[in-house]
């Protein structure tokens, strides 16, 4: 123990002091205070305030985050933020007195291959390959789309509310390929993010699924999570089940069958305006038609894998198109990504075995 009741911060090489003041926990790092501000995104809607802060301040230990809340240094809109409060979409969260929080750095990586689909002074769209993450999880990590973008467009490194995401406007799962949008200016970032928040951006996907979803239709079950560290989402099919879930959000997925393939596989087109994590994969699995190659939600399906059909090289989900208004001209534009080579070859192999 250091003199005066100060303990060394674990793993950080810094010192922080914990002193009870009037029943509250005071935390001091002896470094310059900072004031931070964020706007709650759709993915964060409904999070408890303490969890929201842990995600936004990944380098700050949990006791220090709790101390900020206990000491009234967090505001949600026009009120003092408390630990159990849940944040709402579009709400402004402000934090004062953050001491020593280091902003993570997005490292440029010119070795990341980028297939540019669209480019101008306001934004850029790339075709993300399967198996590549959209952005790193911590400073120093490389090999992601965001690392490649900031190497080519350095101005993107300072955009957005999450430093490691750079100017990325949305995300795709690691094993999903296709269109990924990023902004090159702060005004473009805010404009397009506002379109996402208002659900004015339309994203179109192609998926190969097991089983016939039935021509065309929509899946509109809400989606939530169970457990603090769950890697899966839960589709809520019945009223009352949402009481046992966390962070429940409305979600709608529209689908249309394009063609039937051998072995009871179907190529479908999917549309989504809501942006809930794992929405497409979870929704299709919930109606008995999981995405081919989906190890998270497909394995839970009771539909057996068709005999004689080769296993897929990856999760067969591709973001083929995105539609939105240009942030400067206001013109409605559409950006498309050709079907990824492995996905295309797998479909050809199915065709060579005949169609249903």
Question: Per residue in 81-125, pLDDT tens?
Answer: 888 888 888 888 999 877 655 567 899 999 999 999 999 999 999
* Residues recorded for the chain: 356
Closest by Cα among 77, 74, 72 to 90: 77
- Residue 93: both structure tokens together: 């969260």
φ, ψ (nearest 5 deg) of residue 166: 55, -130
CA distance linking residue 286 with residue 154, whole number of Å:
42
**DSSP code, position 43:** G
Residues 130 and 182 in one domain: yes
Q: What is the CATH number of the domain that holds 139?
A: 3.30.2350.10
Residues of the chain with pLDDT under 50: 1-32, 354-356
List the domain range (segments joined by +) for residue 138. 116-197
- Residue 334: both structure tokens together: 């559409």
Residues 206 and 343 in one domain: yes
Residue from 109, 173, 175, 294 carrying the catalytic annotation: 173
Residues 216 and 315 in one domain: yes
| Cβ(159)–Cβ(166) below 8 Å | yes
Residue 342 belongs to some domain of the structure? yes
Residue 67 belongs to some domain of the structure? yes
CA distance linking residue 189 with residue 171, whole number of Å:
14
Per-residue model confidence (pLDDT) at position 345 = 93
User: Could you read off the pLDDT of 209-223 as tens digits, one per residue?
Assistant: 999 999 999 999 999
Per-residue model confidence (pLDDT) at position 305 = 73
pTM of the predicted protein model: 0.73
Strand 33-39 relative to strand 177-183, pairing: unpaired
Q: How big, in percent rounded to 5, are the helix, strand and coil portions of the chain?
A: 20, 30, 45
Residues 240 and 136 in one domain: no
Per-residue model confidence (pLDDT) at position 63 = 82
| Whole-number CA gyration radius for the chain | 23
Strand partners, 291: 209
Q: Please state the domain count of the chain.
A: 3
CA distance linking residue 129 with residue 337, whole number of Å:
11
Residues 86 and 225 in one domain: no
| 120 noted as active-site residue | no
- Residue 169: both structure tokens together: 């406007």
Domain termination residue (choose one: 179, 197, 215) = 197
């Amino acid at each position: 123990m250091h003199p005066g009741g100060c303990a060394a911060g674990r793993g950080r090489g810094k010192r922080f002091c914990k002193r009870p003041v009037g029943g509250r926990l005071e935390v001091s790092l002896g470094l310059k205070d900072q004031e931070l501000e964020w706007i709650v995104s759709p993915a964060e809607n409904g999070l408890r305030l303490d969890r929201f802060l842990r995600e936004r301040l990944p380098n700050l230990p949990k006791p220090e985050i709790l101390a900020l809340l206990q000491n009234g240094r967090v505001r949600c809109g026009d009120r003092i933020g408390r630990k159990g409060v849940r944040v709402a979409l579009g709400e402004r969260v402000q934090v004062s007195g953050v001491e020593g929080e280091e902003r993570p750095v997005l490292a440029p990586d010119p070795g990341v291959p980028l297939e540019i689909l669209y480019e101008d002074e306001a934004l850029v769209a790339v075709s993300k390959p399967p198996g590549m993450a959209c952005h790193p999880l911590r400073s120093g990590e490389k090999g992601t789309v965001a690392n490649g973008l900031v190497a080519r467009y350095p101005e993107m490194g300072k955009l957005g509310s999450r430093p490691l995401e750079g100017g990325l406007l949305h995300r795709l799962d690691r094993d999903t390929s296709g269109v990924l949008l990023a902004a090159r200016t702060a005004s473009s970032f805010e404009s397009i993010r506002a379109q996402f928040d208002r659900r004015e951006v339309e994203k179109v996907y192609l998926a190969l699924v097991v089983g016939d979803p039935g021509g065309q239709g929509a899946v509109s079950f809400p989606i939530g999570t169970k457990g603090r560290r769950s890697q899966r989402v839960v589709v809520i099919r019945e009223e009352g089940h949402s009481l046992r879930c966390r962070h429940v959000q409305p979600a709608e997925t529209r689908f249309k069958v394009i063609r039937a393939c051998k072995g009871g596989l179907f190529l479908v087109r999917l549309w989504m305006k809501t942006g809930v994590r794992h929405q497409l994969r979870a929704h299709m699995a919930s109606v008995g038609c999981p995405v081919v190659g989906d190890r998270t939600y497909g394995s839970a399906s009771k539909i057996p894998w068709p005999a004689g059909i080769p296993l897929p090289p990856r999760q067969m989900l591709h973001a083929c198109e995105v539609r939105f208004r240009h942030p400067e001209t206001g013109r409605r534009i559409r950006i498309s990504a050709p079907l990824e080579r492995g996905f295309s070859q797998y479909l050809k192999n199915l065709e060579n075995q005949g169609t249903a």
